[in-house]
Amino acid sequence: MIERKVIVGHRLGLHARAAARVVQLSSQYQSAISLLRDDLGNRVEADARSILSILLLAAAQGSALVVRADGTDEGEAVDCICEYLKG
Amino acid sequence: MASAGVAIGRAIRTFDPLMISYNFHIPQSETGKEVARFRASVEKSRRQLERMQAELRQSRIPESSFLVDAHLLILQDKLFVDRIVETIQDRAVNTEWAIQQVSEELYAAYDRLQDDYLRERRGDLEDIVRRMLHNLRSKSSSTLPVLPYDAVLVGKTISPSTLFELRANRVAGIVTESGSPLSHTAIVARSLGLPAVMGIHDLSDIAPGEILIVNGTRGMVICSPDPSTVREYRQRMKPTRSPLRPRDVHIPAVTQDGIRISLGTNINFSEEARSAVENGTEFIGLYRTEFDFFREGGKPSEEELMAQYSRVLKTVRPAPVTFRTIDVGSDWNSRDGSGSSLASRGLRFSLENQDVFKLQLRALFRSSRNGRMRILLPFVSTIADLDAAMDIIAGVKRDLSRHKNAFDKEVPVGVMIETPAAAHTCDLMASRVDFFCLGTNDLIQYYLVVDRSDQSAAHLYNPFHPAILRCLHQVYTLLQYSGRPVTVCGEMAADPAAAAVLLGLGFTSLSVSLSAYPRMKEAIGSLSVGRLRELAGEIMKMESPKDVEDRVRSTIA
């Protein structure tokens, strides 16, 4: 399992188009992928293949997320998702 | 009362008043089938969206196809799809209900977000939910799934057209929060013979599947009754319909002293014409055309309307049919049943929306040779409005003649007397039109200042009020020598005691709902107009509505 921190660079945050792209990218990998956000001490977790849960993260531009992947291709998956989230 | 009679059934809740769906429990053994039904609807929605996406990509705005991407992703989203499947399986509910439960949880989550832009994303989810509910309706999109048991429909509001759609579908009764005995939903319920209770303050405690007894006669709902109560009610539920035997239905309505009363039927939907004829109706005294006009939600074409109107005329001929032009602004279409502004009621709407008015008039005239048509203008309040309407009618006729369209040039045109203004000026209108109808429902509400959608004011609505008696008497007197026939077609004509007052005042033509027809035919046979004339003289001097009503009821008993 790998975790990596990333700052959301998209101007509108993880809005509909960006969230849709994350789902599409995540679907290319075998690994389970999730996005985690620290919300006032509560960790909110979203399945990177669920557009509804990503939108519910409400990650605005500049917010910090942790990308976590677990599986055979976890390294590539985390690289790819983090690269995209940086904007 | 909203609609009399007793019904026993399981509660079914309506979800979206515009997107009718049922919520109900299914047997545990059926959940597999229900999940398959859900998956099929997901599949169907996906295909539709993919087609839309392909079209958008070819269009001038290919970048907008990403909006469809979001919808497609929701359809494969575990948070949505898997939770709906789990809900169907774990709670043994039908797909529509499961979709509602899951989407409402998600809506709530969206509503909690701080970000305005993201909060608005719930719109995507709403779109998908609406699409799926639509796709879940069986093959032809206008039919609803067949109910598994006798049902009582429970909802904040139920529209008249929904009610009509449900007529053949094991709906035994209805209970609503809004609406009153005078609302159009109640009128339709009565014409369908469906017991109804309306204006219940809060229905949120009624669980889907719960057994309910709807006592429309007493205006009472019993939730989860014990078995002995159910038994007692079942025994009491002797058929209340049609006291007349089939061979008796064509016998005309004649009073004991030999006065012939014309008795017609009011209908709200074209399909009711057939039942009215089978019931032995002498004519259709009022066809409220707005229900059919707006049934599919949009504007019908002239040809569609012509086909519908021709069917009604052919079914009823040689008897006449009075087509009332669309009367919007009352409660037929409003989501909350509250009705809209009086400024655009009835004829006022038609004068403001002349394209709609002309469309309907053209369809009416062009179908007029299929039977005997009369055209009735609703909610007339000034001579100027009436003249404007008559000008439009003349224009439509000229236009049809010029284009060599065949139509009956002598179709009678009449005025519905339902505003105090019309009641007091009907003699001035008489030279301009061929006949009159008295719409007592609205007339009484505007005379006595009672809002008909307000349940708390319903007790103030009283046809026995001295002001109403005087008004009716005046209308009769003003039109007595005009040579213009008058038919009374409000609910007042469907209550034997109130109808007795009308006969006593001199009226000889009544039109009532389908369900009241047999009862009224029988009631008329037991009355004596000579006796009622004397009665009318007596009650005209009385001061309280209660005294009037007691006096009338004891006389006819």
Rounded to two decimals, the ipTM of the complex is 0.84
Average pLDDT over residues B446-453: 81
Higher pLDDT: B534 or B166? It is B534
Q: How many angstroms separate the most distant Cα atoms in chain B?
A: 81
Least CB–CB distance from A51: residue in B67, B73, B115 = B73
Q: Which residues of A touch B120 (CB under 8 A)?
A: none
Tally of domains within chain A? 1
Contact B10, B152 (CB under 8 A): yes
In this predicted structure, what is the pLDDT of residue B8? 87
pTM assigned to the model: 0.62
Q: Is the pLDDT of residue B187 over 90?
A: no
Helices (H), B150-220: 160-165, 184-192
Q: Are strands B372-377 and B413-417 parallel, antiparallel or unpaired?
A: parallel
What distance in Å separates residue A60's CA from the closest CA in chain B? 8
Report in angstroms the alpha-carbon separations of A37 from A13, A43, A45, A57: 13, 6, 6, 7
* B59: DSSP letter: S
In this predicted structure, what is the pLDDT of residue A23? 94
Instruction: Express as a percent the part of chain B with pLDDT over 70.
Output: 85
Which of B26-35, B164-173, B395-404 has the highest mean predicted lDDT (pLDDT)? Answer: B395-404
Per-residue pLDDT tens over the stretch B458-467: 678 889 999 9
Give the best residue of B118, B120, B122, B125 to mutate against chain A (max A CB count within 10 A): B118
Per DSSP, what are the bridge partners of residue A3?
A: A68
B73 and A23 within 8 Å at the Cβ level: the answer is yes
Q: Is the pLDDT of residue A33 over 80?
A: yes
A51 and B66 within 8 Å at the Cβ level: the answer is no
Kind and range of the H or E run holding B499: helix B496-505
Q: Which residues of A touch B106 (CB under 8 A)?
A: 52
Domain span at residue A21 reads 2-86
* B348: DSSP letter: H
Contact B430, B484 (CB under 8 A): yes
For residue B318, say if its preceding peptide bond is cis, omega within 30 degrees of 0: yes
Q: Is B54 on the interface with A (CB under 8 A)?
A: no
Least CB–CB distance from A52: residue in B66, B79, B117 = B79
Q: Which of A12-26, B3-17, B503-517 is predicted with the least confidence, judged by mean pLDDT?
A: B3-17
Chain A residues at the B interface, defined by Cβ less than 8 Å, are 12-13, 15-17, 19-20, 23, 47, 49-53, 55-56, 58, 60
B117 and A15 within 8 Å at the Cβ level: the answer is yes
A15 and B114 within 8 Å at the Cβ level: the answer is no
CATH superfamily of B6-13+148-236: Phosphohistidine domain (3.50.30.10)
In this predicted structure, what is the pLDDT of residue B139? 46
Q: B25-136 belongs to which CATH class?
A: mainly alpha
What distance in Å separates residue A2's CA from the closest CA in chain B? 23
Give the best residue of B66, B104, B115 to mutate against chain A (max A CB count within 10 A): B115
In this predicted structure, what is the pLDDT of residue A57? 87
Q: Which residues of A touch B117 (CB under 8 A)?
A: 12-13, 15
Per-residue pLDDT tens over the stretch B231-280: 888 877 755 544 445 556 678 889 999 899 999 999 988 888 988 898 88
From-to residues of CATH 1.10.274.10 in chain B: 25-136
From-to residues of CATH 3.50.30.10 in chain B: 6-13+148-236
Least CB–CB distance from B113: residue in A12, A19, A58 = A58
Q: Is B108 on the interface with A (CB under 8 A)?
A: no
In this predicted structure, what is the pLDDT of residue B338? 40
Least CB–CB distance from B109: residue in A47, A56, A60 = A56
Instruction: Express as a percent the part of chain B with pLDDT over 90.
Output: 45
Q: Is the pLDDT of residue A14 over 90?
A: no
Q: Which of B554, B544, B532, B439 is nearest to B493 (CA)?
A: B439
Least CB–CB distance from B78: residue in A20, A50, A60 = A50
Q: Is the pLDDT of residue A56 over 70?
A: yes
Between vectors from CA B182 to CA B179 and to CA B183, what angle results, nearest 5°?
45
A47 and B78 within 8 Å at the Cβ level: the answer is yes
Q: How far apart are CA B537 and CA B535, in angstroms?
A: 5
Nearest chain B residue (CA) to A48: B77
CB burial of residue B434 (10 Å; 0-12, 13-18, 19+): middle
Q: Is the pLDDT of residue B138 over 70?
A: no
Q: Which of A18, A16, A53 is nearest to A33 (CA)?
A: A53
What distance in Å separates residue A36's CA from the closest CA in chain B? 16
Nearest chain A residue (CA) to B114: A58
CA dihedral (A70, A14, A56, B56) in degrees, to 10, reads: -100
In this predicted structure, what is the pLDDT of residue B146? 59
Q: Which residues of B touch A49 (CB under 8 A)?
A: 77-78
Q: Is B74 on the interface with A (CB under 8 A)?
A: yes
Nearest chain A residue (CA) to B106: A52
A15 and B78 within 8 Å at the Cβ level: the answer is no
Nearest chain B residue (CA) to A55: B118
CATH code of residue A38 = 3.30.1340.10
- Domain B261-556 matching CATH 3.40.50.300: the answer reads no
User: Reduced to 3 states, what is the DSSP secondary structure of residue B413?
Assistant: strand
Q: Is B110 on the interface with A (CB under 8 A)?
A: yes
In this predicted structure, what is the pLDDT of residue A77? 95
Contact B504, B530 (CB under 8 A): no
Average pLDDT over residues B536-542: 94
Q: Which residues of B touch A20 (CB under 8 A)?
A: 66, 69-70, 73
User: Which of the residues of A are catalytic?
Assistant: 15
Per-residue pLDDT tens over the stretch B20-76: 567 788 889 989 999 999 999 999 989 988 887 887 787 766 666 777 788 899 999
Q: Which of B267, B286, B215 is nearest to B3 (CA)?
A: B215
What distance in Å separates residue B24's CA from the closest CA in chain A? 27
Q: Is the pLDDT of residue B334 over 60?
A: no
Average pLDDT over residues B485-489: 95
A52 and B115 within 8 Å at the Cβ level: the answer is no
Q: Which residues of A touch B74 (CB under 8 A)?
A: 51-52
